Amino acid sequence: MTQRVELATVMDRLAVDDLITDYAGAVDDGDWEAYRRLFAPDGRADYRSAGGIEGDAGQVAAWLAESMRVFPVRQHLIVNRRVTFGLLERDTGDTARVRADYVNPMRFAADGGSPAPDFVCGGRYAFGLLRTAEGWRLREVTVQEKWRRLPDRPGAGVIN
């Protein structure tokens, strides 16, 4: 590999990392317009393993906007990112796959004077990315929830 190709690969890895971080920020901040912009035109997401839906970015953003109302405090921690670049039309680096683990602590909305309980889940994301004229975009997001801890029941709700 030439130094120029290696530099391009590093720049792509940084851009892919930014996209994954922007994804977490959009969900945590409830910025559903930003969430939609992260996707390629044919982009889809699948949250079924976590009790959600599968659909295009607009459908999933609308579902997230409604379902996340019960969690006014959210904080994705996306770690252990493994990035691999693929081929599209014989050009290395037009696609990428990212496998990453997540821990997602959230807080339920407070109910009157009671303290709000926490809800925590974890699992693995599989991201499929595509290089577009606007930069890297999500083509697919698949959530594989592996566990969850429900409030008032430590250790309950473990999913395999």
Write out pLDDT tens, residues 27-54.
999 999 999 999 999 999 999 999 999 9
Q: What is the reported pTM? A: 0.87
Tens-place pLDDT, residues 94-113? 899 999 999 999 998 887 76
Q: How far apart are CA 6 and CA 92, in angstroms?
A: 12
Instruction: Give the structural domain span for 18.
Output: 3-149
In a domain, 43, yes or no: yes
In a domain, 103, yes or no: yes
Instruction: Name the strand (E) or helix (H) holding 15.
Output: helix 3-29
Ranges of residues in the chain whose predicted pLDDT is under 70: 1-5, 87-93, 113, 152-160
Count of structural domains, the chain: 1
Strand partners, 77: 103
Strand partners, 102: 78, 123
In a domain, 26, yes or no: yes
Q: What CATH number is attached to the domain comprising 16? A: 3.10.450.50
